Amino acid sequence: MTIPLPPLPLASEPHPWLAAAMIAAVVLTSTTGEVLTASAMKSVGDLDLIRARAGLKGAIRAVLACPRFFVGVFFLSLSFFSLLFALNHLTLSLVAPASASLTLVTNAVAGKIFLKENVDRRRWASALLVCIGVYLLAH
Amino acid sequence: MHSISLAHPGELIAAVFTPWIAIGIALLICFFASYLTALSWADLTFVLPATAFGNIIVAFLSRFWLHETISPSRWAGIALITLGVGFVAQGPSLTERANPAEEDSTLEEAQTR
């Protein structure tokens, strides 16, 4: 099944600063969403244990009872829509690799600062390797 | 299927019940549930690089199922992601923290001393 795409009127490329701002919006909202969601899940506790104790319904209830989870999901959806907005104005070959790879690095920084995670040399190295890899793959 | 426009929102809702899109949405819900479960017992800086492995699965599916060609730079990307995921998987999945309950008791001990 293929969805025929309407012919795109390729508008003039936006100013580089504007393009950078759009990508920054995607990366920032996505990082905020990931950090808030991760922090919410840590506060809920090990879901596998909760599911063993209270069943699937209990696990779902535990997640839905956490307000921070909804704030995280709100930012994740904000990031999705800012991605769509950026794709509306910029080419896919710029937006997809840039946002996907930058998000990995900003998340490593945010994880260290806000979640106090132990980002050792191994994690920095893997964040960088995956960042370059995703860039190459998405380009 | 013809292209969807916002002028006919009903078509957008109908699209959700198209078998392929319904399967896609169901799988995305499964993804999010497993992702949240992983985040509940592992660090974000562990889960994010590890889930990047999905990109490689997508590349292989498009190679062998959709018969797309993978350029040398994409093969290099696959190699780097594999290396990165292997790297992070070697380490601990969760930052070791003092148990908050234990911290409280040590604090009380310090205060009583």
Give the closest residue to A2 by CA, choosing from B1, B24, B6.
B1
Q: Which residue of B has its CA nearest to A110?
A: B45
Give B64→chain A minimum CA distance, Å: 16
Is there a domain that residue A29 lies in?
yes
- Domain span including residue A92: 22-138
Where does the pLDDT of residue B8 fall: very low under 50, low under 70, confident under 90, or very high at 90 and above? confident
If one counts the domains in chain A, the total is 1
* Chain A neighbors of B45, CB-CB under 8 A: 107-108, 111-112, 117, 119, 123, 127
Highest-confidence range of A14-23, A30-39, A84-93, A116-125, by mean pLDDT? A30-39
Q: Which residue of A has its CA nearest to B53?
A: A130
The answer to ipTM > 0.85 is no
Do residue B84 and residue A138 have CB atoms under 8 angstroms apart? no
Same domain, B32 and B83: no
Is there a domain that residue A8 lies in?
no
If one counts the domains in chain B, the total is 2
Task: Tell me the C-alpha distance between B42 and B93, whole Å.
Answer: 5
Per-residue model confidence (pLDDT) at position B106: 44
Q: What is the pLDDT of residues A3-46, one digit of tens each?
A: 666 655 555 678 888 999 999 999 999 999 999 999 999 999 99
Same domain, B56 and B111: yes
- Domain span including residue B28: 1-41
Same domain, B18 and B67: no
Sequence-ordered list of residues with C-beta below 8 angstroms from that of A134, at least 6 positions apart, any chain: A97, A100, A101, A104, B52, B55, B77, B81
